[in-house]
Amino acid sequence: METPADLDARIIKLISQVVPVKPEQIKRGDRLREDLGMDSVCSMELLSMLAEELDLDVGVEDAAGIRTVADTIALAARFLRAKAAA
């Protein structure tokens, strides 16, 4: 069973595949744009990869409003809970 810390690590690793920042330098509070240097296309790609990797049924509109690493983790956690409940 994946713990919240495991999920954080998994998502941070995914982010480090999209931007040239080492996983150990990525923090939950980082903003995707200002702290990680992602443009909007890049952050959309991240969310799409995340849904694929975790096999989540995320809708395209859910991508709007995601600004930070913590937002990304919260989105993943929300959809993982929904998947477990289904």
Partner 1 sequence: MSAAAVQPVEVAEPDVMGALLTGVERYLRSEVDAAQIDREGAVPARVLAGLGELGVFGVTIPQRYGGAGLRLTDACRLAAALARADRSIATTVGLHLGLGTRPLVAFGAEGLKQRYLPRLASGEAIAAFATTEANAGSDLSRLATTALAEGAQLVVNGEKLFVTNGRLAKVFTITAATPGLGGAQRGSSLVLLESGDPGLSVGREERKLGLKGSSTAPLTIDGVRIEPERIIGEPGRGADQLHHVLAWGRTLMSAGCCGTARAALVKAIEHTASRRQFGRTLDAQPVVREHLALMGARLAAMEALVHDTASLEDDVPGLLQRSLAAKVFGSDGASYVVDTALQLFGGLGFIEESGMPLLLRDVRITRIFEGANDVLLTQLGTHLATAPPPRRALAPLVGPDAFALACSADVVAAALDAHREELSARHKIGLLRQTRLLNRLGRAVAWSEALDATVRAVDARRTTSRGAAALFSEVAARDVANALAAPFGEEVVSSALADLEPGA
Taking the complex as a whole, the smallest distance from the CB of residue 73 to partner 1 amounts, in Å, to 16
Residue selected from 14, 15, 51, 54 as contacting partner 1 according to rule CB under 8 A: 51
CB atoms under 10 Å from CB of 39, counted, come to 10
Is position 58 an interface residue for partner 1 (rule: CB under 8 A)? yes
- Between CA 43 and CA 50 the distance in angstroms is 11
Instruction: Specify whether the CB–CB gap between 38 and 19 falls below 8 A.
Output: yes
Q: State the residues that interact with partner 1 by CB under 8 A.
A: 19, 21, 30-31, 33-42, 44-45, 47-49, 51-52, 57-64
